Amino acid sequence: MKLLEDRILSDGEVIDGKILKVSNFLNHQIDVAFLDQLAQEWVRRFSGVKITKILTIESSGIAIGTSLARAFGVPLVFAKKHQTSNVNEDVYSAEIFSFTHGISYHVVVSKKYILPGDSVLLADDFLANGKALQGLIKICNEGGAQVVGAAIAIEKGFQNGGDELRKSGVKVESLAIIDKMDSDGIKFRD
């Protein structure tokens, strides 16, 4: 999506060729009207797909998730980060390895909010190795909910998460896919 690619080129900052900082519209300061425009593109890409809930992870997925929930007219659920693996029977949980922090953490979702019969659209700001989405998929599977796809703002196509998820049958819709980023600049997939 050209709108997002242009914004990444004007406002993004590449750190060590690995991390893209988009703190002034997506990750720290949030351009809400801009995210609502992105959400309209996902509405187009997922038209005809039954969606009953959006599921993301705190904290950086919540802004995108909110715009998506508003656009689709369904609730947003976010997986909460949990300090220990000692989780209780009222929640579904998953362990996720964080690409940005280099450590594993647990997330939990109350069993009240993911139900059998739910058609869940996953959402996140970034897709890199796919661990965050895999954790959310595990939670949906445990809850008997169906994953109908993933709405991602920025996919780092040079990491394999997106392609692996597509191969496994998940409809991943990333609005900007970066094939290369370094000190020479950012190259998007056509």
Return residues touching ligand 5GP (CB under 6 A).
Answer: 19-21, 27, 60, 99-100, 124-132, 156, 161
Q: Which is nearer to ligand 5GP, 145 or 176 (CB)?
A: 176
Q: Which is nearer to ligand 5GP, 91 or 107 (CB)?
A: 107
Which parts of 68-132 are beta strand (E)? 76-82, 91-97, 104-110, 119-127
Report the nearest approach of ligand 5GP to the CB of residue 16 (Å). Answer: 10
CB 76 within 8 A of CB 68: yes
- Report d(CA 20, CA 42) in Å as an integer: 22
Report the nearest approach of ligand 5GP to the CB of residue 98 (Å). Answer: 6
Report the nearest approach of ligand 5GP to the CB of residue 79 (Å). Answer: 11
Residue 160: closest CA among 179, 145, 138, 176: 179
Residue 65: closest CA among 80, 79, 73, 54: 54
Q: Which is nearer to ligand 5GP, 42 or 99 (CB)?
A: 99
β partners of residue 159: none
Report the nearest approach of ligand 5GP to the CB of residue 21 (Å). Answer: 6
